[in-house]
Structure 1
Amino acid sequence: MNKKLIDFVRDTYQTNDFIPLHAPTFAGNEKAYVTDTIDSTFVSSVGKYVADFEKNIEIYTGTTKAVATVNGTAALHTALYMAGVKAGDLVITQALTFVATCNALFHMGAEPIFVDVSKVSLGLCPKAAEEYLDSNAMLNSDGECIHKSTGQRIKAVIPMHTFGHPVELDELLAVCLKWNLILVEDAAESLGSFYKGKHTGTIGDFSAISFNGNKIITTGGGGMVLCKNLDDGVHTRHITTTAKVPHPYEFYHDEAGFNYRLPNLNAALGCAQMEMLPTFLKQKRALAEQYKMLFSGSDFQFVTEPEYAQSNYWLNAIICPDAESRNLLLKETNEQGVMTRPIWQLMHRLPMFKNSLRGDLRVSEWIEAYLINLPSSPVGV
């Protein structure tokens, strides 16, 4: 199977050079729009492409308000701030995630509670979240969710749509409603993914998207906060632009804000990439189908989208039958210049989160032990 995989990937990408996990594709108006930005001299956060990029995301996702930021972590930090997460709060999330999810909490002075993920979505499991809360939480007289052991407020739930596969959002919303928690979606990897016909990031009150160089579209670095409520969106825009009150020449800031506004130069790249997104999605779904056929009948399980969702298949993945085959596949593919990688180490194994509260993580540990990501760049663009 390892040789079949290497031969398949090389034949697919038609190269004997190193094949990365996910490379950006620039096949549209990227150079024209970036050059236009340079010619205009408006390369920083003031310029028409920033507003155009936000509007493109609003139209595509169906969100009420989109606010562009310098990167996905800044978007998530802003989303959590707008959700009312404060220092000392606890936030339920998954240990099976990229570290940015937890870094945003850390720098707010908040702490994660790690609960397990679902084998169906690879994302936060509603049943695991509910079981943890039923055993460890209570509602106080003000209706706040309080951790019984620590006395800390549990404020929010952050599911991450792992590799673009949407989590079970209706069930998570029900948990949030029962426990008076705010749902903040980490949709960093899921632009182009839909949950029961609705774009990811539009179900929770706030969400964050990433446009890092390895995402399905890129602005080089960049992110976006999606807001369900218009007033929240206006306020989000305000605080990400240093909370400066508009004035022809005076500098007055009415609250502590962030300098998180996306530069026009990056937004120009994003506008061109958005024009290519339908093509990228089509090509990536075709690639996923080919991978699925390649592994059909083998001991390797290809990770498919949940039946309730349409995934962008940002990163394709397989579950290996055992540790020996996983390690051998990683070794042989990477030695042959075909990049594969294991999933992230679980967050509670990292030194800064080793003492975090957590529930039973047996599914997360199983996925960590056996999952491998495969080259997933769009093909044929």
Structure 2
Amino acid sequence: MRVYLFIAAIAGGATWLVMPMVRHLAIRVGAVGVVRARDVHKVPTPRMGGLGMLIGFAVAMCFASRIPFITGLFQSGHQAWVILAGAVAICLLGIADDLWDLDWMLKLAGQLLISVFVSWGGIQIISLPLGSLVAASPSLSMAITAFLIVASINAVNFVDGLDGLAAGIVAIGGIAFAIYSYIIARISPDYASLATLIDVAMVGICVGFLLHNWHPAKLFMGDSGSMLLGYLITCASIVVTGRLDPATIHASIYLPAFMPILLPILVLFLPVLDMCLAIVRRLSHGQSPMHPDRMHLHHRMLRIGHTVRSAVLILWGWAALIAFGSLFILFFPLRYVLIGLALAAILLTFATLYPYYRRRLPEIRRENALLAAQGSQHAARPHRHRKSRHDKDEDN
């Protein structure tokens, strides 16, 4: 564990150190995001922070390749280098988009091409839980792998709308998955885990970047950063699945063995949910799935009265609840996990809706006061006495 913490520190330190140079470079080459109608920031801010994150990740991987405990991961196969090559390619594609705002179809084609290359290089899901442990065909493995990578890339890209939001959510998911992959690796003779290595390095670059991206941000990660993070967290999960041999898996560990297929979706639940809602919303209006708007989850948080920082912290809380809740289910009694999740969900729901009800409270009081005043006026109004039949007989 100390080795992994050291790798995370190397990744975070390298990322933090190079970010000022990346910011200066972004300004020099014109990678500065103009303020658009859908943006939250008020001043033009340099983007292309993904370049610094890539440098931090590459430095951490190079250090790891020289550490005796981990060096076997780089010598026994080429998966680590394939992942690094794919990271370089996906970051370069993002830098091109940060500079020239590529057409979404061209960007999607580039993502698919890189995903297929990585899958062809050995980063594949080799088995599927379809009623029983079934080995997937190579073509199906490549297709599923490419789909997962592209979906995660765009999910993180969609949620990258507030300072620190995307980096924090991915870091939380990375911590949860690093714990899971580390525990899975301990049942093998060799504790070294490529998935854990990728996750801790990714968490490190997220933390190093957050020191420059916390509101008010000095630098945005841009598509080069959001695409890189989505790519890395998915590659880490696929590496775990790819190491499992369906013929040796016992039914008693069926769920833990195939949790790598589900856990990336759970740790990225908020980005995936936001992406799905955005696609459905835009298609229902006859728009392109990539058409920008101000209806993302973080925009809704700001609209109900949250500040940028409070919105980010609460969304981090929801991400942690889902990511660690899905992890705890595997290792703790279900009833205790559900009780803890329910209590945390109640607190987060209160924190999420508090600004809305605080803003609505004066309006509700005015409405109640108005209704009370109308009721008192109605009660004070004299009513005409209607004579009964007995009274009329006496009058006669």
Q: TM-score range by the shorter chain?
A: under 0.3
TM-score, length of structure 1 as denominator length: 0.24
Q: Which has the higher contact order (CA 8 A, sep 6+)?
A: 1
Structure with the larger strand share: 1
Higher helix share: 2
